[in-house]
Amino acid sequence: MTTTAFVGLPSVSQARQHRRTVTKLEGSLTSEADNGNQVVIAIADAMAALHAPHAKCKILHGNISDRAILLQKAADGIKGVLADFDYVSIDGDSVAEAPELKLFQSIHSLRNPGAACSPLEDAESLLYLVCWLRTFGINRAQRAGFVAGRILPILGWNEGTAVQIANQKRSHMSSDIAFHTFILRFMRPGPLHDLALDMYRVLFLHPGTFGTLQIDDEALATMENDNILAALLALPVTNGWRDLLALRNRFVNEIIRNILEIVAWHRDTALAILNSGMVSTAPMAATRPSAGPSLKHYGDEVPLAEPSKRPRH
């Protein structure tokens, strides 16, 4: 320390301590990836990196973007690294500051700035990143081939106020048909296309949830299933509306576990393709192998564990 190093040396009249913080990019951006399989690996590793600090310390990232996920060389080829922990928060605590970029923010974060979040918000942001990258291209070469001026629904994620963007995402994620109509059909085929579909189904089509839209008392009166009605009546009312997306919070741990399994499956598939020297652009099979994750995909035959404990449609 400057205050103690020169004690007893009266000839030193001015002693200063100079500090330097030197930083460098620990890896390359996803925009420098060679193919979609490399990005799938980076996304899967980022999801695991999101889960680890939350599992140990309840820390949430809060700022997922295309610059927060880096690629690094690894013993088995390549790996993803999560960066930019500038907006971290603690699960259950209010968020002091939200990032300016709304493109990848979750519906909840956009609608309720400063409100407490859950791990689902970071996972949802990761899904939006996958959709964006696969729609416009993962690297500069692919983006250069994108036809400017195309009118795409996904552009609404980056235009308007936070509430307007949230409403756009709420509409696009409201059902399997809506996701296909507004987002999936504009995405290039390949491993990221398949990853986006699986992440969407895990995050938004859990059997115990009922989509992303809002419902009023008039619509509730038409409900015939008492179990569904009881779950919906328990939701808080804001300006006369109940947010169906809030039902997802009852299954946070299960949804996170399922999404970790499915992204790990996609990672293993992508790594096997890279190590074999092939780069696949064809969609993978709709059903998962028996060794795959035990997820209830619409159209797949493998049910969720413990189905008796969950309300169903």
Mean confidence (pLDDT) of the chain: 82
Answer yes or no: are the C-beta atoms of 279 and 192 closer than 8 Å: no
Residue 300: pLDDT over 50: no
Answer yes or no: are the C-beta atoms of 264 and 44 closer than 8 Å: yes
The predicted structure's pLDDT at residue 155: 95
Residue 1: pLDDT over 60: no
**Nearest to residue 300, comparing CAs of 212, 209, 198?**
198
The predicted structure's pLDDT at residue 22: 62
Residues 227-267: pLDDT tens digits?
777 888 888 888 888 888 888 988 999 999 999 999 999 99
Q: Which two tokens stand for residue 31?
A: 């925009």
Q: How far is CA 302 from the centre of its chain?
A: 24
Q: Which amino acid is at 23?
A: T
**Nearest to residue 172, comparing CAs of 191, 190, 187?**
187
Positive or negative torsion for Cα 146, 148, 154, 157: positive
**Nearest to residue 134, comparing CAs of 230, 206, 43, 52?**
43
d(CA 29, CA 59): 24
Residues in CB range of 246: below 8 A, 6 or more apart: 235, 236
The count of residues in the chain is: 313
**Nearest to residue 127, comparing CAs of 49, 196, 193, 190?**
196
pTM for this entry: 0.81
Give the lowest-confidence range in 60-69, 88-97, 102-111, 169-178: 88-97
Neighbours of 67 (CB within 10 A): 14
Residues 162-205: pLDDT tens digits?
999 999 999 999 999 999 999 999 998 999 999 999 999 999 99
Q: Which string of b and e fits 135-162 if b means at least 16 CB within 10 Å? A: bbbbbeebeeeeeeeeeebbebbeeeee
The predicted structure's pLDDT at residue 25: 67
Please indicate whether residue 160 or residue 150 has the higher confidence score (pLDDT).
160
